[in-house]
Structure 1
Amino acid sequence: MQTYLGTIVGVLAAAAIALIVVAVVHRLVRPLGRRSLLMRELSDHSYRPFRVAVTVLAVQFAVRATTGYAVGEPWRQALLHILVLVVIVTTAWLVASLLLVTEDTALARFRTDVPDNRQARRIKTQVRILRRVTVAAIVVLTIGVALMTFPSVRGVGASVLASAGVIGAVAALAAQSVLGNVFAGVQLAFSDAVRLDDVVVVEGEWGRIEEMTLSYVVVQIWDDRRLILPTSYFTTKPFQNWTRTQAAVLGTAEFEVDWSVPVQTMREELRRAVEGTELWDGRVCVLQVTDAVGGVVRIRALVSAADSPSLWDLRCLVREHLVGWLRDQRPTALPRTRTEIGDANSDLAWQWVQPRRPNPTPAEQGVPDDARVFGGSDDGDARSTTFVGPEEPVDAPR
């Protein structure tokens, strides 16, 4: 009875002392959180696991100290074993909370609510993948250490190690796809091929990377659907990443019109349309004739926007504006089918038209040259340098 009473008193005293020490440390650290984000996160998120771990450790020391003369008692061995298991679990909880607080503090330095957030999104992706790996590793190690406290498990350790090669080979064959996705997730996190909030085109769908795990990637499609893809998809198949280097992108709107369309006038109308909207970022506004076959002229309007959602709305706006302008101001430029019927001599007046003087160039008209994608402006010259083609091969000597 004295042994039990001494153990109970020692446990209560140790727990009280531990709680007092933890409370004092918490009061000392909490004011430091006003100046340090790390201290504030530690005070808010690591306080509970720290209190539990210190209390359990103090209780274990008290039990060992107060039951030293009852070494052979079975209840002592069982109680100490339970306390050791609880200490292992609470220590793992404390270590996991410290690592998560460190990761959250590192993420707080990188903001994703700014226009140029490419580096922040890359760091955020890597840290989130590392967090899942860290938690999984801590759980596995905790279970392994807890099992090693049982003598029967330690006794079969040698045979388990001897058969580890065979078990590993069988497990690798059985979980080949799962392991492939895990390694693909780690590769995506550090290869910078795709990040959170990147705008991508996969499987013919346009969307945004919403979530990345070790096994799958969630793509939020523009119409709020979710496309779930394995991580190995992004390492084995091609896909479009519109925001890998920057969010600004280019987009086109194409029209098929009659040969009588006034291209320069339409070009000026395009510029008036984009200058009157905030969707245009002011970089690129080009209108070009890209094809002229089959009785129609194909005209492409190339515009730029700060991000892909703005570009989509800008392209729709350009189409609506130019379609209305052609219908109301240039109805003769709408696509038409011509049929001419005449005699074999072709000497009728309407069958031969004297060629007119060619239209003056934009430079002769004194208007800006908006007819070139790879030139005519600083941005076009830079694009021309970036997309320069290979030099022509030198003829072999004869």
Structure 2
Amino acid sequence: MPEHDVVIVGAGPVGLLLACLLLEEGLRVAVCERRAEADDRTRAIGIHRPGLDALDAAGVGVAVRAEALRLHGGEVRSRRRTLATLTFAPDREVLILPQPRTDALLRARLQALSAAALVTGCTVTAVRESADEVRVATDTPDGLSELTCSVVVVADGVRSRLRGDLGIGWRRRAGHASYVMLDVAEAMPGDRAVLHCEPEGLVESFPLPGGRRRWVVREGAEDLRTAAGLRAAVAQRTGIELEVDEGAQPASFVAAQHRATRVHRGRVVLVGDAAHEVSPIGGQGMNLGWVDAVRLAAELARALPARAPDLSGFDRQVRRSAARAQRRSAFYMSMGAPAAAPVVRGRELLMRTLGAAPLRGWTAGLLTMRGL
């Protein structure tokens, strides 16, 4: 009999949440994380309704609500004019909490459920499947070892090496651009996001807990590698003069979209960013991974430890939801691309239409992951 029911590769937000759900079901779980310390990089900040439901199921929803800022809506602007104003329904509010803090709450919950489940500094080097179990080869500070389990869940991110080892394809989807971001102190950050869809490229800002606001700027002709460069670009595109610490260093990232050709092979299954990369412009990648985790936990709890799960339905559902999310994100990105005057005028008309009274509720639903 395998020593574990499930081994999860990767202790990001999706792997951690899945581990909590499975432990609550009474399954034996090990989480292998190659980093020795928690990842403190500034990454995802938005928690949508489906994600919050998943966090509730994992037992951390109350703690997240206590620390998060509630985003009640947003505005879309272009050429110094407001094109649309949206207010999110009370049951569709978006919570704002930096990912390192969300991860910390999930780690604490995992520790409370099983002090031994998370193994840090543990790199999975190979996965070998047999008829009734999977052997997971690991490299740890204590040397090489092997774990056995009924199912392996690969949650090791966009650059997953195991996905390639399994021979699963990784296909590019529409939507690709480069951005820089910087968190700036702001006395009154408010509770609304602002998107500036300017001819020179997108500028967006989101309030953060603790009196700060995150600014994200799509790369264009300007040099955005320094705080001064980002400040100048924001001023030139929007007319807003930021008070920025000149020593601050903007973080750059590429927004791209990919989808795995399948999300399981035998007893090995992909979740989260290992299964689909969704542009963060739209804020749905992490939350979609949590939705995957809830669905997968239900499938595994029904089957294990008695028999191997049938994951064909899960596979179809994950890829279908990812396709919808990627289409939405590709549209959001196109609205913020640098563009000539005729294109800008056309998309301004479209954004006014989407923000008008007959469509306003539908548009807000798309932005808050309704239907995913």
* TM-score, length of structure 2 as denominator length: 0.23
* TM-score, length of structure 1 as denominator length: 0.22
**Structure with the higher strand share, 1 or 2:** 2
Higher RCO (CA < 8 A, seq sep 6+): 2
Instruction: Mark the structure with the bigger radius of gyration.
Output: 1
